[in-house]
């Protein structure tokens, strides 16, 4: 089930921020998300500075709004952390 407590709906995007121990841990997470996104054929907008990662999800093909495709990828991203 999609957890709205972890992902915020902001400006027609699902947004979540992550903090890690260091840059290497953050980059490892981003690499895992990259493979996952490719599998889902859905690619996030993200920002990374040192141990901080911000992911924004919206579906470009649907006019940059939140769709079920975004919620499924958010769930899959959450599963990486468990």
Residue numbers of the domain that contains 36 = 8-80
pLDDT score, position 45: 95
Domain count, the chain: 1
pLDDT score, position 61: 81
Distance CA 27, CA 66 (A): 25
Round the CA-based radius of gyration of the chain to a whole number and report it.
12
Full pLDDT tens readout for the chain, 82 residues: 545 568 999 999 999 999 999 999 999 999 999 999 999 999 999 999 999 999 999 998 888 889 999 999 999 999 998 8
Looking at the domain assignment, is residue 1 inside a domain? no
Looking at the domain assignment, is residue 69 inside a domain? yes
pTM (2 d.p.):
0.89
């Amino acid at each position: 089930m999609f957890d709205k407590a972890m992902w915020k709906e902001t400006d027609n995007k699902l947004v979540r921020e992550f903090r890690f121990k260091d840059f290497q841990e953050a980059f490892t997470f981003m690499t895992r998300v990259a493979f996952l996104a490719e599998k889902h054929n859905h690619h996030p907008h993200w920002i990374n500075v040192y141990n901080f990662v911000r992911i924004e999800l919206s579906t470009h093909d649907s006019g940059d709004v939140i769709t079920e495709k975004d919620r499924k990828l958010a769930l899959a991203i959450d599963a990486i952390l468990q």
